[in-house]
Amino acid sequence: MAVHLITGAGSGIGAVLAEHLAERGDDLWLLARDARRATELRERFPGARTLVGDLGDPAKLSWAFGHQALPVELDSVLHVAGMVELGTVGELPVKAWQETLNVNLVAPAELTRLLLPSLRLVKGHMVFVNSGAGLRSDAEWSAYAASKHGLKALADALRHEEHANGVRVTSVYPGRTATAMQAKVHQQEGKAYDESRWIAPESVAKAVLAALDASRDAEITDITVRPGA
């Protein structure tokens, strides 16, 4: 029975991953931003345990975890949570930059630091659900793309650092996926949202599971998932 910690399990890709892993009989630890959200997650995923920590305030994660029981061993940490705020470089305020970088980059770095000892014990797996924006940058996507480019750098550096410890590191780069975040993006773009045009969260979850299930003689380092025809 494997043990997984998931961020962003409340919706979208994270929720689908939690459902699949629970169906397999694995143990789940789900990160929640507050106690109310933690209760909702435990009700949705019976048997799951929760940790409370606000990704929007990564400087306090260490303090928050110091007041909670942490998993001793982790087979995987799945970084799925994220946020997006569109805007031109000339107009996007510093608050939007700070919030985006905190949630999408600094918090994953801090969670990784705090949870690495639990992964090293069992030669576990760190998965970063990145974005196509982690490989390129388009107009009005500067803050989000910068955070995701940084997340790629984090994962690449971690892979080199932890190879000798047996910790595997995978980055997954989905294109536009039919989630609540995508609906928000369309609203910011002033476009009608049709989820049938985009990747199903299930498809991205399957890519993550393929990386987790790879035999120990292989490490799947990067997966790009694009909308199908």
Q: What's the pTM?
A: 0.94
Please check the confidence at residue 186 and state whether its pLDDT lies above 90: no
H-state helical runs in the chain = 12-23, 35-44, 61-65, 94-101, 107-120, 142-162, 180-189, 201-213
In whole angstroms, what is the distance from residue 216 CA to residue 229 CA?
33
3-state secondary structure of 115: helix
| DSSP bridge pairs for 44 | none
Quick count: other Cβ atoms within 10 Å of Cβ 143? 25
In whole angstroms, what is the distance from residue 205 CA to residue 20 CA?
9
Please check the confidence at residue 178 and state whether its pLDDT lies above 70: no
Q: Which residues of 24-57 are buried (b: 16+ CB within 10 A; e: fewer)?
A: eebbbbbbbbeeebbeebbeebeebbbbbbbbeb
pLDDT tens, residue by residue, 104-157: 999 999 999 999 999 999 999 999 999 999 999 999 999 999 999 999 999 999
Average pLDDT, integer, range 150-176: 97
| DSSP bridge pairs for 30 | 6, 50
Identify the CA nearest to 58 among candidates 102, 28, 12, 23: 102
In whole angstroms, what is the distance from residue 155 CA to residue 136 CA?
16
pLDDT tens, residue by residue, 62-87: 999 999 999 999 999 999 999 999 99
pLDDT tens, residue by residue, 191-216: 877 777 778 999 999 999 999 999 99
The per-residue pLDDT for 198 is: 74
